[in-house]
Protein backbone atom coordinates (compact mmCIF):
# COMPACT_ATOMS: atom_id res chain seq x y z
CA UNK A 1 0.00 0.00 0.00
CA UNK A 2 2.88 2.38 0.77
CA UNK A 3 4.26 2.10 -2.75
CA UNK A 4 0.87 2.83 -4.33
CA UNK A 5 0.46 5.94 -2.17
CA UNK A 6 4.00 7.11 -2.90
CA UNK A 7 3.54 6.63 -6.65
CA UNK A 8 0.25 8.51 -6.50
CA UNK A 9 1.86 11.38 -4.57
CA UNK A 10 4.73 11.57 -7.07
CA UNK A 11 2.32 11.48 -10.01
CA UNK A 12 0.24 14.30 -8.50
CA UNK A 13 3.36 16.38 -7.80
CA UNK A 14 4.56 15.88 -11.37
CA UNK A 15 1.14 16.86 -12.73
CA UNK A 16 1.08 19.98 -10.55
CA UNK A 17 4.52 20.96 -11.77
CA UNK A 18 3.43 20.50 -15.39
CA UNK A 19 0.18 22.43 -15.03
CA UNK A 20 1.44 25.24 -12.79
CA UNK A 21 5.22 25.52 -13.25
CA UNK A 22 5.43 28.89 -11.46
CA UNK A 23 4.04 27.40 -8.22
CA UNK A 24 6.09 24.19 -7.99
CA UNK A 25 9.71 23.26 -8.51
CA UNK A 26 11.65 20.13 -7.66
CA UNK A 27 15.32 19.34 -7.20
CA UNK A 28 16.88 16.34 -8.94
CA UNK A 29 16.12 12.96 -7.36
CA UNK A 30 18.32 11.68 -4.54
CA UNK A 31 18.70 7.90 -4.32
CA UNK A 32 19.12 6.24 -0.94
CA UNK A 33 19.42 2.65 0.22
CA UNK A 34 16.19 1.75 1.99
CA UNK A 35 16.64 -1.86 3.08
CA UNK A 36 14.64 -4.83 1.90
CA UNK A 37 11.14 -4.09 3.22
CA UNK A 38 10.41 -0.37 3.63
CA UNK A 39 7.24 0.24 5.64
CA UNK A 40 7.06 3.99 6.23
CA UNK A 41 8.45 7.34 5.17
CA UNK A 42 8.24 10.66 6.99
CA UNK A 43 9.24 14.11 5.80
CA UNK A 44 10.13 17.01 8.08
CA UNK A 45 12.93 19.27 9.27
CA UNK A 46 14.87 16.72 11.33
CA UNK A 47 18.09 18.68 11.87
CA UNK A 48 16.90 22.28 12.21
CA UNK A 49 18.32 23.58 8.91
CA UNK A 50 14.84 24.63 7.61
CA UNK A 51 15.09 22.09 4.76
CA UNK A 52 12.86 19.02 4.49
CA UNK A 53 14.52 15.72 5.36
CA UNK A 54 13.19 12.20 4.70
CA UNK A 55 13.28 9.38 7.24
CA UNK A 56 12.67 5.79 6.12
CA UNK A 57 11.57 2.89 8.31
CA UNK A 58 12.42 -0.65 7.22
CA UNK A 59 10.82 -3.75 8.71
CA UNK A 60 13.45 -6.26 7.56
CA UNK A 61 16.74 -4.74 8.71
CA UNK A 62 18.35 -2.80 11.53
CA UNK A 63 19.79 -0.19 9.16
CA UNK A 64 18.16 3.27 9.37
CA UNK A 65 17.51 5.14 6.13
CA UNK A 66 18.14 8.81 5.55
Q: How far apart are CA 34 and CA 64, in angstroms?
A: 8
Span 8-31, average pLDDT: 57
59 Cβ contact partners less than 8 Å away, ≥ 6 residues apart? 35, 37, 38, 39
Instruction: Characterize 20-54 residue by residue with b for buried, 16 or more Cβ atoms within 10 angstroms of its Cβ, and e for exposed.
Output: eeeeeeeeeeeeeebbeebeeeeeeeeeeeeeeee
pTM: 0.45
Least confident of 11-15, 23-27, 50-54: 11-15
Residues in the chain: 66
Amino acid sequence: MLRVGLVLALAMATAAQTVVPALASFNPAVNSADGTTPVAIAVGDLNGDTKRDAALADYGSNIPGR
